Amino acid sequence: MLYIVEGDACMFFVNILNNIKKYSFLTKQLVMRDFKVKYKRSVLGVFWSILYPLLTMAVMAVVFSQMFKFQVEGVNYLVYLLTGLVMFNYFSEASSGAMASVVTNFQLINKVYIPKYIFPLSKTLFVGINFLLTLIPLLLMILFTGSGETKCIINIYYLLLPFAYLCLFMFTLGMGFILSTISIFFRDMFYIYGVITMLWTYLTPIFYDITMLDPWVQGLMKLNPLYNFIDFTRVIILHGTMPSAHSFFMCLALSVPVLLIGMIVFKKNQDKFIYYV
């Protein structure tokens, strides 16, 4: 192994494939660490991953459908809620975890050479495992709730769901890279992002239907990446139809560029991290 560290020109072009192979074990270990530490002392352990979204859904269902009488025409409201909720929760948990990951793992970065992108990446993956578990309650809701017209039927288009989840993952990872870079130079970002996520919750149609809004707001909403990913899955799960080509395009157009920008921003700044953390 020969490597040359150049002072002025940060020319450390890593062979990505090589690195993935070399650091896959570390990534796996970091994901496992998060997983073990998270559930270590709780009685129900990993079941919380399944229980938590179910309970959140129950709370929201009671508040919005019973108290505020929200309804979305012609669909199973519980499934409607949960499809949005699991995806949004994944995004907010993974992006804020990734944001903090470089700062919290500073001890390591300062002592051993590890590529720094491993931390946002392993965090996004770890929450991803959690996300897959939350698909279990979603499946239960699809199978056991709704009747007649609002009954969801498992259909062939389910095979397209991974596409939306992959776009969600790419978008989240990209955001994680951008946020972790910003937060190192500007720690106030942790607080600011908390407010942003809260705002984002309301700007994403999780518990309401987009058609309730003014047309111009609807237009804006369609630029919200999370809306696009969620809508993609809802078309499949709730309506049992194939998402439109436009839908495919929007999902890709709002995720891939974000990931690329995130990677570039992170890479350009990573050598400076050590002075700021």
Partner 1 sequence: MVRLTNVGMKFNLGIEKSFSFKELFIKTFSFKKKKKKTEYFWALKNINLDIKKGEVIGFVGSNGAGKSTLLKVVSGVMKPSTGKVEVNGVISPMIELGAGFDVELTARENIFLNGAVLGYSEKFIKEKYQEIVDFSELHDFLEAPIKNFSSGMIARLAFSIATIVNPEILIVDEILSVGDINFQEKSRKKMQEMIDGGTTVLYVSHALDSVRSICTRAVWLEHGEIKMIGDTNEVCEAYYKQEMKN
Please, which of residues 161-220 interact with partner 1 by CB under 8 A?
Answer: 185-187
The correct pick among 3, 144, 191, 216 for binding partner 1 (CB under 8 A) is: 3
What is the rounded distance in angstroms from the CA atom of residue 169 to the CA atom of residue 49?
A: 18
Give the H or E element holding residue 276. Answer: helix 273-276
User: CA 255, 258, 262 angle in degrees (round to 5)?
Assistant: 140
| Alpha carbon 7 to chain centroid, angstroms | 36
Of 70 and 273, which has the nearer Cβ to partner 1?
273
The correct pick among 66, 67, 113, 215 for binding partner 1 (CB under 8 A) is: 113
What is the rounded distance in angstroms from the CA atom of residue 261 to the CA atom of residue 70?
A: 38
| Alpha carbon 67 to chain centroid, angstroms | 29
Please, which of residues 69-108 interact with partner 1 by CB under 8 A?
Answer: 107-108
Give the H or E element holding residue 259. Answer: helix 245-269
Nearest to 96 by CA among 167, 191, 227, 28: 191
The correct pick among 151, 199, 260, 271 for binding partner 1 (CB under 8 A) is: 271
The correct pick among 15, 17, 73, 111 for binding partner 1 (CB under 8 A) is: 111
Q: What is the DSSP letter of 66?
A: I
CB of 109 to partner 1, least distance (A): 7
What is the rounded distance in angstroms from the CA atom of residue 239 to the CA atom of residue 231?
A: 11
- Candidate segments 1-9, 141-149, 193-201, 206-214, binder of partner 1 by CB under 8 A: 1-9
What is the rounded distance in angstroms from the CA atom of residue 116 to the CA atom of residue 23?
A: 11
Of 188 and 214, which has the nearer Cβ to partner 1?
188
Q: Taking CB under 8 A as the rule, does residue 13 contact partner 1? A: no
Q: Is 250 helix (H, G, I), strand (E, B) or coil?
A: helix
What is the rounded distance in angstroms from the CA atom of residue 266 to the CA atom of residue 28?
A: 21
Please, which of residues 18-47 interact with partner 1 by CB under 8 A?
Answer: 22, 25-26, 28-30, 32-33, 36-37, 40
What is the rounded distance in angstroms from the CA atom of residue 181 to the CA atom of residue 8?
A: 20
CB of 12 to partner 1, least distance (A): 8
CB of 111 to partner 1, least distance (A): 4
Q: How far is CA 18 from CA 1, 68, 153, in A?
A: 12, 54, 43
Of 108 and 203, which has the nearer Cβ to partner 1?
108
Q: Taking CB under 8 A as the rule, does residue 110 contact partner 1? A: yes
Q: What is the DSSP letter of 15?
A: -
CB of 256 to partner 1, least distance (A): 30
The correct pick among 16, 67, 112, 156 for binding partner 1 (CB under 8 A) is: 112
Q: Taking CB under 8 A as the rule, does residue 129 contact partner 1? A: no
CB of 271 to partner 1, least distance (A): 5
CB of 36 to partner 1, least distance (A): 6
Binding site for partner 1 (CB under 8 A): 1-8, 10, 12, 22, 25-26, 28-30, 32-33, 36-37, 40, 107-114, 185-187, 271, 274-276
